[in-house]
Chain A
Amino acid sequence: MVETPLLERPKKLTVENLSILYGDQVALNDISLDIRENEIFGIIGPANSGKTSFLRAINRMDEMSDDMLVRGKVALDGCDVRSWRNVYALRSRIGVVFPLPVGLPLTIYENVALSPRLRGVRNKVELDEIVERCLSRAALWDEVKDRLDSLGSLLSGGQQQRLTIARALSQEPDVLLLDEFSIAVDPVTTMRIEDVLKELREEMTIVLVTNLVQQARRLADRTAFFLGGELVEVGMTEDLFRRQVKDQRTTDYLEGRFG
């Protein structure tokens, strides 16, 4: 199979002049970029540079909080997310993995079966099949297959994070957003999850926010560098790490001479 060159693939997410404000505080200032199909798009940058806010704008989580204001446009498959009349359908197409693993206070089985249930899957056989498939793909099935009825929140941090990935996969998402997923995960599990992500790239578009510069290097096709709410630059990850950058600050950050 010949892979289509990245920049010739259709745009999965288009972001135009996106600004995000919390009250008077600007979290993200006038960002424009696009993310291609089946790409792992890395976003790096220090704390408070607007990375998480960027993810929240994509699945319209700003509507669930009173003080977050979003200006500009985010489009999924060319269609402005604001114009989706059914925000729940929009969110169900976008999987999210949070920094600290959030195993919902349900059994392992129910954590993964929740999203299919929400979209109306009732058949037990079908649910069993989805649960097994998603847990397997998140590299967790072998560890939990004998205790699917125990609580998801009792798993270790690394297992819970894989559980949340399985849960996100159960949505059958087009886009997977990962927000610093490895913060509470040991290095071995991190590597296993990274392998999972490389496989998932075949089927979906992945936006990977990370604090670890090397993680972006290992995984991302392209990488964007956010700093203080500004998009400093976007480029092919290889180029950025070969110092083919437009802005000196990017090299400084990548080489750890920063902050």
Chain B
Amino acid sequence: MSSFRATELDRRNQRRERWVRGLFLVMTLMLILPVLIILGTLAWRGHSVISLDFLLSFPTNGMTEGGIFPALVGTLWLVGVALVVSVPMGVAAAIYLSEYAPENLLTRSINLAIINLAGVPSIVHALFGVGAFVLFFNFGTSILAAGLTLAVMTLPVVIVSTRESLQAVPQAFREASWSLGATRWQTIRRIVLPNSVSGILTGVILEVSRTVGETAPIMFTGAAFFLPFLPLGVGDQTMALSLHLFTVSTQVPNVPEALPFGVALTLISLVLILNAVSIAFRMYLRGKKKW
């Protein structure tokens, strides 16, 4: 019977196990805490401003009253332009890197460059946007210039996440398809892409979240503090939620206290709603996952 009794070593391992588990749990809770506090504060102090009228009317009285309609519309414009440019480009680049590129110094350099690009501060992207899109391509300060700047900034996220989800498709599937006489592209289109859509979508979700909240890259390239009209095309300037939040928080005197919280709450809700829709779509696709 003695062999079933816990030894001193067993007891010590069990104590350590409980301790380590507790430590990790605490760390996890500490991560969630700030999120809950932020959301809670925003909801508590900002909900009184939110109404349909707030979302659908223009700011009035030096932006101390009225709504945020043009900023909301402007943010959608910017995210739209950024997505239209960066998703096709990023997915195409990722497909090349994952499916076509030979394993050599050039490919490794490109991969390294992409990772570094993801680490460039957004204010640097902003200055690049001014130099490249506003001045060199002469788009002026416009939705186009700002959207392109956002696209450049978020491209690495799309490329890296797309490449990773492509590489998660087992190599055996590719080999089986090739041995049937399929070309690389036929294999990608029929086998690889259908099985990595959910992962690619994750990258897009990340991109949307980042794009909606970015302020610096659009400040100098296309976003305005206040415009009394809605943008009609990509050549116009626009207001944007993130910049509007900055403005009403710090640049305008005598703003009612609840107003910035309302703007922030709208911004974060927009991100959450976009994410929720994408996640739902992703779960739907993953439900159909085939291996």
Contact = CB atoms under 8 A, between A and B. Distances in A.
A92 B121 CA distance: 50
B176 A164 contact: yes
B158 to A, nearest CB: 23
B58 to A, nearest CB: 51
Given A66-B103, A88-B183, A102 B178 contact: no
Contact of B180 (A64, A103, A171): A171
Q: What interface size band does chain A fall in?
A: 20 to 34
B291 interface: yes
A102 B191 CA distance: 12
B251 interface: no
- Chain B interface SS verdict (over half): helix
Contact of A171 (B178, B181, B186, B190): B181
B177 A104 contact: yes
Nearest to B170: A102
B99 to A, nearest CB: 10
A98 to B, nearest CB: 7
B53 interface: no
B181 A118 contact: yes
Contacts of B178: 61, 64, 91
Contact of A167 (B172, B180, B191, B289): B180
B290 interface: yes
A160 to B, nearest CB: 11
Given A61-B175, A104-B191, A105-B173, A92 B291 contact: no
A174 B280 CA distance: 47
Interface string A79-116: 00000000011111111101010111110000000110
Contacts of B183: 88
B25 interface: no
A104 B102 contact: no
A40 to B, nearest CB: 19
A184 to B, nearest CB: 12
Contacts of B102: 66
A88 B182 contact: yes
A96 B176 CA distance: 8
B179 interface: yes
Contacts of B180: 91-92, 114-115, 118, 167, 171
Nearest to A164: B176
**4 closest cross-chain pairs (CB), A and B:** A92-B181, A105-B290, A96-B179, A91-B181
25 contacts: A61-B178, A64-B178, A66-B104, A88-B181, A88-B182, A88-B183, A89-B181, A91-B180, A92-B180, A95-B179, A96-B176, A98-B175, A98-B176, A100-B172, A102-B172, A102-B175, A104-B173, A104-B176, A104-B191, A105-B289, A106-B190, A106-B290, A118-B186, A151-B290, A164-B176
Given A61-B179, A167-B180, 18 more contacts: A59-B179, A61-B175, A61-B178, A66-B104, A88-B181, A89-B181, A94-B179, A95-B179, A96-B176, A104-B173, A105-B173, A105-B191, A105-B195, A105-B289, A105-B290, A114-B177, A115-B181, A119-B181
